[in-house]
Amino acid sequence: MKGIKEIALRLKELGIAARFPKTRSIHLTLKFLGDIDESMVERVKQVLERSDRSCGCFDLHVEGLGVFPSLRKPRIVWVGVRRESALDKLQRGLEASLQVLGFEAERRPFRPHLTVARLKSSRNISELQCFLESEGRDFAVGSFAVDAIHLYRSVLHPDGPEYQKLSTCELGVRGTDS
């Protein structure tokens, strides 16, 4: 996404000490599974395939900048994803179906976002804080169509994670409540 590259450049200009993911690695996590046994992968794929039948294609709107866990002590810089009923339905359905397989329910509320930087130190944090307070809420990338969900394996490397796609499930016909 062009807007994501632009925000990464703006953040780099602030001189913050951060690791910026490659654009192709930026993703929206619906459910983090952690380390799972290979025998469980097929069962997770089946859950995804059932989800594709119950959820049609929809659009997501990417807007606003923020940080986790707080503006006073930021560690992750993110671009927000506007809550949409189709996204919420998909995420809740996956959460419930994966609980049946034995995955623990997420305790934190679902906060859809795209991670654009992981801070390595507090260098120039005040510049980041000022930037977020002045321009963060008004930042908008635009929208994109969601027509598939993917299951990825994350392989950690010193320069950041590498994502290996294990499965793709195309979503059904475009929904009417997007």
For residue 150, indicate whether it is catalytic: no
> What is the Cβ-side half-sphere exposure of residue 166, based on CA atoms within 13 angstroms?
17
For residue 118, report the phi and psi dihedrals to the nearest 5 degrees: -120, 115
List 61, 113, 150, 157, catalytic entry: 113
List 27, 61, 150, 157, catalytic entry: 27
For residue 85, report the phi and psi dihedrals to the nearest 5 degrees: -60, -40
Taking the CA atoms of residue 117, residue 118, residue 122 and residue 128 in that order, the dihedral angle to the nearest 10 degrees is 20
Amino acid at 170: E
46, 59 contact by CB (below 8 A): no
For residue 157, indicate whether it is catalytic: no
The per-residue DSSP string of 36-56 comes to: --HHHHHHHHHHHHHHHHH-B
- Give the active site residues: 27, 113
